[in-house]
Structure 1
Amino acid sequence: MPRVLMYSTAVCPYCVRAEQLLRRKGVSEIEKVRVDLEPARREEMMERTGRRTVPQIFIDDFHVGGCDDLYELDHQGRLDALLKP
């Protein structure tokens, strides 16, 4: 299974929706980076993605984007291929 990293905050309904989809797809481990607790990590996220909002999701080194981007990848049938071991 590829490494899944999600930049998130404590109260974020989009983070919850994204995690639910990933869990349904069989992802058992999601490395979560809480940018509300670690401001330096928010800077890191913004440098890596050019975005300020959470979630920001990476599958291995591929930047998926946010929750809507994740669902769109799934709708296009491309998410399963990214999640294959």
Structure 2
Amino acid sequence: MARVELYTTAWCPFCIRAKRLLDSKNVSYEDTDVDRDPQQRLVMQQRGGARTVPQIFINGHPIGGCDELYALERAGELDSLLSADSGE
């Protein structure tokens, strides 16, 4: 199973939508709230190059935010990414 990491805030509607999609697919993920730990916002920016939340990583690769996650779903590509082995 893929390793899925999200950088989010509790109040962000796009973060909530992204988590709902992953929850609907019964995908477990690591959720880092960047409001609670500002240092993690810097980590997020260094890893993915973006300042906005959510930032989503699958097996260590940045896929972008909520819009990109849903685009992968519409294109039929998300399930294969989520089923790929994380290599750990």
TM class by shorter chain equals over 0.9
Corresponding position of 1:11: 11
| Residue deviations 1:19-63 (CA, integer Å, cap 9, x gap) | 111111220x21011111111110010111111000000111121
Normalising by structure 2, we get a TM-score of 0.89
- Count of residue correspondences: 84
Normalising by structure 1, we get a TM-score of 0.92
| Residue deviations 1:45-83 (CA, integer Å, cap 9, x gap) | 011111100000011112111000000011111101001
Corresponding position of 1:31: 30
Q: CA RMSD in A?
A: 1.0
Counterpart of 1:11 in structure 2: which amino acid? W
Structure 1: gaps of 5 or more residues:
none
Corresponding position of 1:22: 22
Corresponding position of 2:75: 76
Identity score, percent: 51
